[in-house]
Amino acid sequence: MTIERRHLSAQVVLVVSGRMDAENAPQFEQACNACIAEGLTTLVVDSGELAYVSSMGLRSFISVAKTLQSKGGALRICRLQGLVKQVFEITGLIRSFPVYESLESALSGGKE
């Protein structure tokens, strides 16, 4: 898994690629928590190149989102693909998170 941090439209986008499993999910959580420590309350995750996520990855997504929500912000997820999208659908998380089809719509935060 690689996590690339980009600044777009005055927002932070974490581009997560590869596979998020039990071994490396904490890295994603650390990357998000580092942003939260800087005072950010809304993060966009671009998961267009994320090919795999297990329940340990979902734990990290949920944990970060709860922290952001408690600060009045949100974890916006965009471009879910393949198995990752399937996992978000099965678990109902696709309805619990603000999920967007495109990066542009996630940045603007409009309703999907």
Partner 1 sequence: MPGETPSLELEARTTSLRQVMDFVRKGALEASLPEVCVGELDLLIEEIFVNVCRYAYPDGAPGMVTVKYSVPVPGELKVEVADQGVEFNPLAAEPANTTLDLEHRPIGGLGIFLVKTLAPSLTYRREHGWNRLTFGISGGS
**Contact positions vs partner 1 (CB under 8 A):** 21-23, 51-52, 54-56, 58-59, 62-63, 65-66, 69, 82-83, 87, 90-93, 95-97
Task: Please measure the distance between the N-terminal and C-terminal CA atoms of the chain and give it in whole angstroms.
Answer: 28
Min CB(23)–partner 1 separation in Å:
6
- Main-chain phi, psi angles of 81, to 5 degrees: -130, 155
Among residues 9 and 91, whose Cβ is nearest to partner 1? 91
If we measure between CA atoms, which residue out of 99, 80, 65, 74 comes closest to residue 20?
A: 80
Q: How far is the CB of 18 from partner 1 (least distance, A)?
A: 13
